[in-house]
Amino acid sequence: MIEQTRSGGGSRSIPAAARRFDSAAMVQRSYPQRELTAVEINRRYLETQPAAHSTADTAAQPEDGEALPAIAVDQLLADRSAAAPFGELVHRMIEYQLTGIPGRVPLPPLFTTLEPQQAAEIEAEAGQMAEAFLDSPLGREALAAVAAGDGRLESELPFLLQVDSAEGAQMLVRGQIDLLLQREEEVLIIDFKTDRICRPAEYAAQMAVYRQAAGELYGRPARSLLVYVRGARVEEVSTEVELPGLVEG
C-alpha cells in the first residue's frame, strides 16, 4: 500500500510515492481454480488410466480401437492440422439442417485460405457426412422432433454444473452439449466426433459430466451417445466416473 506523502505546503509528492511503491514488499497470493471444462475433466480422467490414448486425430495404428472409413480429404486435413475445423464444419451443417438456419454454412477461417477446389472438396465431404447422420435412425428422430415444434430438441446447449470435490470444495464445470433430444422417459445426449479411430472409452468422463448436467436440468435419466460421423457410427458411453476425485486441485 502506498502511504500518503505530503510536502510542507500540503501537496502530494509523486516522486516520493513512487519510491515507496518501488521499495514496497510484494505480497504473493494464489487462488484455487474454481472452474473447469468438461474437456479438462476428461483429460484428467485419461491421465489416471493405465493405457490412456491421445484423442488427437492422427493416422496412427488403431491399437485397441477400430479404424473408421477414410475420406478423400484425409491427407489435406492432416497437412493442414485441420481435423478440429473439419469437425466444426460437419457439426454446423447438421445444426443448420436441424434448426432451419437459412443459407450456406460458412467455412471455418482455416479453410478460406485453401485453393477453391480444395475448399469445395472439404465442403462436399462434410456435407456427405452431415447427410449420412440425418438419414440415420437417430438423425430422422431428431428431424421429427424439429418438425413437431415442441422444443424437444436442443442444439449447442451450454451448461454450468457444480461438482463438490471429495474434500468438500465446490467446483464449477462448464460444457456445451452438441445435441440433446428429450424423450418421454429420458434425455438423449448426442456428441459428434470426427475421429479416425473409434475409441469411445476415451470420452468416458466428458460424457459422465454431460449426463449429470442433463439429468439435473431435465429431471430424468440421461444417456450419452457418440456419433462418429465417418460412417454415422453410434456408440453409447455409459461408464460411471467418480467426478469428485477429478475436480480436486
Rounded Cα–Cα distance for residues 173 and 37 (Å): 5
Assign 3-class secondary structure to 46-96.
Answer: HHCCCCCCCCCCCCCCCCCCEECCCCCCHHHHHHCCCHHHHHHHHHHHHHH
Rounded Cα–Cα distance for residues 95 and 131 (Å): 11
Residue with cell 447438421: 94
Rounded Cα–Cα distance for residues 243 and 246 (Å): 5
Flag the least confident range among 61-75, 123-137, 141-155, 164-178: 61-75
Rounded Cα–Cα distance for residues 48 and 190 (Å): 25
Rounded Cα–Cα distance for residues 228 and 242 (Å): 25
Question: Tens of pLDDT along 41-89?
Answer: 999 999 998 765 554 444 444 457 899 999 999 999 999 999 999 999 9
Query: What value does the mean pLDDT take over residues 188-210?
Result: 96
Report residue 213's pLDDT band, with 50, 70 and 90 as the boundaries: very high
> What nine digits make up the cell of 84?
478440429
Q: Is the pLDDT of residue 147 over 60?
A: yes
CB neighbour class for 237 (10 Å; exposed up to 12, middle 13-18, buried from 19): buried
Q: Output the furthest CA–CA distance in the chain (Å, rounded).
A: 85
Domains along the chain? 35-246 (3.90.320)
CA angle 145/232/123 to nearest 5° reads 95
Report residue 212's pLDDT band, with 50, 70 and 90 as the boundaries: very high
Cβ neighbours of residue 12 under 8 Å, at least 6 residues apart? 4, 5, 6
pTM of the model: 0.80
